[in-house]
Structure 1
Amino acid sequence: MIILVCFLTYIINESENIFLGLYRIITSPAILVTDFIKVGGIGAAFLNALLILSFNYFLVKLFKIKITGVVIAMFFTVFGFSFFGKNILNILPFYLGGILYSVYTSTDFSEHLISIAFSSALAPFISSVAFYGEVAYETSYINAILIGVLIGFIVVPLAKSLYDFHEGYDLYNLGFTAGILGSVIMAVLKLYHFEINPQFLVSSEYDMALKIICSSVFVAFIIVGFYINNNSFTGYFKLMRDDGYKSDFVQKYGYGLTYINMGMMGLISVAFVTFTGQTFNGPILAGLFTVVGFSANGKTIFNTIPIFIGVLLASFGSKGNTFTVAISGLFGTALAPISGVFGPVAGIIAGWLHLAVVQNVGLVHGGLNLYNNGFSAGIVAGFLLPIFNMITDNNNQRKMNIQKKHMNFLKAVQKNIKNKMKEEEGEDK
């Protein structure tokens, strides 16, 4: 509601042509990094975001899907990336592909809607193919739609299969899936001389306005959550101690505490970005709202701060600029379950490694996977998981061996005591 009010106020007081801006957004290649605030203006960017949010909300209501933690995460993720890669047209082929998959497998589309919504991470493929070169042809549009439909059709079984690689320790599973799928599609396109020109297009003129809007929204979440939770923070400390592994906070703690956590995580994320010195823009909004969304489905203060620390430590002496550090820190919190399950030191290591990996994996999909950090997080989680499991199992085995030694020692002491007591009884007789 606050975002809508700010948007309407801006439209009333400014002469910006939002529909012309929206046209520019829709016809842009949308590859990493394309800030829609820079492309079409802040009014058009907010209009695009509100349209996409409304579209997904309509589908959730239409198919009577219960609002759980992962649904909230989906809403905020697609809303955030509407400032940064997704537009109201380039997401539609994925949904069509999802419908065809449901028909083909004789399943309910509502079972796959969340995965399909997340699969729009590959929306830049649609825009880049449709508007490839200086002149777009009818065949370009058809090819773009076919690619989107194909992705929507195969993404659900792929996501289920690739989940086993990181076992749920990457909260952005569809980001990892999109990275694998995007890399394969990009390889095929390059085979036929399809080349992507990288770009870095971000805005900087709305820094303070965006900080105020975001902070206001996050404070509002805390207030609403406080009210729903019987005007108290009771139970929030328990939520903060949750390891975040396969955790739906809505189902475990209710809406009140979940909203409080979302607001708190939003404010902490704002503080992190401010600390790095990065100005607020479209990609930063995507990172912030993704963190807030997944704060209903795994992220807490305790399991994300180690990730932030790890990214900051990795940035010292590295080639990463403030934008890379800020974005990697925000999206790197996909690794929060590692910190929650294996401890803060493991979280710091994961954050440190994430910054190293994320700066290199974008090459394989040509910047056409918006969830590049989710792809990186999946690789990091899959790499670290067996190592941390080995260490944990070894420590547990040591503890068991020590306990066995203690038990054997106590048994030996008890046996000696009993023998002495028997000897004393024999002497008395």
Structure 2
Amino acid sequence: MDKITQRMKQIEILTIVLFMLILIFFIIYVINEHENIFLGMYKIITSPAILVTDFIHVGGIGAAFFNAILIFSFNFFLVKLFKVKITGITIAAFFTVFGFSFFGKNILNILPFYLGGILYSVYTSTDFSEHIVSIAFSSALAPFVSSIAFYGEISFETSYINAILIGVLIGFIVVPLAKSLYDFHEGYDLYNLGFTAGILGSVIIAVLKLYHFEITPQFLLSIEYDIPLKILCSSVFISLIIIGFYINDNSFSGYLSLIKDDGYKSDFTQKYGYGLTLINMGIMGFISIVFVMITGQTFNGPVLAALFTVVGFSANGKTIFNTLPILIGVLLASLGSKGSIFTLAISGLFGTALAPISGIFGPIAGIIAGWLHLAVVQNVGLVHGGLNLYNNGFSAGIVAGFLLPIFNMITDNNNQRKMNIQRKHMNFLKAVQTNIKKRMDEKENKENK
């Protein structure tokens, strides 16, 4: 067995271990609480799922975990079936979609997107395996399916058909849209599909409102499972570190190089290997827990989504060094603002999508990006009506697209100044050398005479 195959087997073992850990937590909790998870699942599936809908609050923690396990199993099955390579972005998709299974995505409202992705691959004569990751992320717009399916103004049959059609349409067009909109932020927003979903969702909601489709805002959060969720997350993150340590030949060797990475277009699995990547994911998980505790926010469904998203993208760009400035910027922006603790905690964690800005342009640029992100994210939700779960990804794309030309201008200007200074130094040295040579020639001529 070659080294790459061995590493892939180890990743599969890791996935199974983490899955079993979460499954054990789920079973123990359900047994202790005697929860009716099927009634809870019904409540979750029939929920509009718009921002902010915590499935732990809606259906109970047992049903929320059951929903997450179903979605995780579904995506794992697709990855195995279509032999998708486990890269950094694949891991990011796994963890992000799993996290949002507690916060907007259920096993039914994501299915139309995959159907749309299959139709797109057939239409373009491409392999569906090439699009699975993008389609998985596109379920950010899952609330469109739920909200339309259970819209009470028209018959159930018509609502369900409309919901499926709009989900299929989104899955069909999201891949070419994502490729095109990537150029706006040039990869400085790690959540490109969040930005794409924001644009697409804004257009769709505008069309729906034209025909008097109304959205009822809601804000549902659980508060009673703080300690159990902290214990679960800590267990998962320490498991990542331990398994990564084992895969990396029982060593942290090379981790310093990883955390110095700028995070721009960085697949850590390819650059540093799976072991160091998993170590980074676990450490970033604990940093995220500390940040949430600093804000004073209790753990709930949306917090789980944010935590697992950070951990997932710690395989594809996020490190300690390039995310801390973003978190500091968000904290500074909160001083004197009227935002809630919940908004601060969620925006800080999701705002680390801007990590490449910090990595490329430096910590000051990262602090500015984090500060601006908190301001923007609190207002862009109105554009898509709360139906884009990756609202922070949308905001991060706007912030990155706005700051990028400015930072490039400053960087180019600084580089030009350095080049001018270097040119002046070179000219001065040449003049000195010429002068010295001239004097030496004159002295030599006098001696010859």
TM-score w.r.t. structure 1 length? 0.99
Query: Match of 1:237, as an amino acid?
Result: L
1:26: Cα distance to partner? 0.3
Match of 2:83 in 1: 64
For the residue of structure 2 that corresponds to 1:86, the secondary structure is: coil
Query: Match of 2:321, as an amino acid?
Result: F
Residues 211-220 or 81-90, more deviating? 211-220
Distance 2:22 2:257 in 1: 30
- Kept in 2: contact 1:123–1:368 (CA 8 A): yes
Q: Does 1:351 align with 2:370?
A: yes
Distance 2:308 2:437 in 1: 68
Q: Does 1:365 align with 2:384?
A: yes
- Kept in 2: contact 1:25–1:87 (CA 8 A): yes
Q: Does 1:172 align with 2:191?
A: yes
Match of 1:274 in 2: 293
1:12: Cα distance to partner? 2.1
The equivalences for 1:35-184 within 5 A come to 35-133=54-152, 137-184=156-203
Distance 1:241 1:401 in 2: 29
Match of 1:214 in 2: 233
- Kept in 2: contact 1:331–1:373 (CA 8 A): yes
Match of 2:51 in 1: 32
Distance 1:29 1:262 in 2: 32
Match of 1:248 in 2: 267
Query: Match of 1:52, as an amino acid?
Result: I
- Kept in 2: contact 1:225–1:256 (CA 8 A): yes
1:132: Cα distance to partner? 1.0
Distance 2:263 2:394 in 1: 19
The one of 328, 336, 341 equivalent to 1:309 is: 328
Query: Match of 1:143, as an amino acid?
Result: N
Match of 1:235 in 2: 254
1:10: Cα distance to partner? 1.0
Residues 352-361 or 131-140, more deviating? 131-140
- Kept in 2: contact 1:229–1:257 (CA 8 A): yes
For the residue of structure 1 that corresponds to 2:222, the secondary structure is: coil
Match of 1:329 in 2: 348
Distance 1:403 1:160 in 2: 40
1:302: Cα distance to partner? 0.3
Q: How many residues align?
A: 429
Distance 1:300 1:135 in 2: 48
Distance 2:359 2:412 in 1: 17
Match of 1:11 in 2: 30
1:322: Cα distance to partner? 0.4
Q: Does 1:419 align with 2:433?
A: no
Distance 1:141 1:153 in 2: 18
Per-residue CA distance 1:17-59 (angstroms, 9 max, x = gap): 0011011000000000000000000000000001001100100
- Kept in 2: contact 1:243–1:339 (CA 8 A): yes
For the residue of structure 1 that corresponds to 2:366, the secondary structure is: helix
Match of 1:22 in 2: 41
Give ranges in structure 2 of 5+ residues lacking alignment. Answer: 1-19
1:136: Cα distance to partner? 5.5
Cα pair distance change 1:199/1:136, threshold 3 Å: farther
RMSD: 0.8
Cα pair distance change 1:136/1:204, threshold 3 Å: farther
Distance 1:185 1:355 in 2: 25
Match of 1:191 in 2: 210
Q: Percent identity?
A: 84
Distance 1:422 1:4 in 2: 87
Distance 1:5 1:67 in 2: 25
Match of 1:395 in 2: 414
Query: Match of 2:296, as an amino acid?
Result: G
- Kept in 2: contact 1:130–1:136 (CA 8 A): no
For the residue of structure 2 that corresponds to 1:205, the secondary structure is: coil
Match of 1:225 in 2: 244
Query: Match of 2:229, as an amino acid?
Result: L
Q: Does 1:261 align with 2:280?
A: yes
Distance 2:194 2:232 in 1: 27
1:134: Cα distance to partner? 7.7
Distance 1:215 1:134 in 2: 45
Query: Match of 1:164, as an amino acid?
Result: D
1:133: Cα distance to partner? 2.4
Match of 1:320 in 2: 339
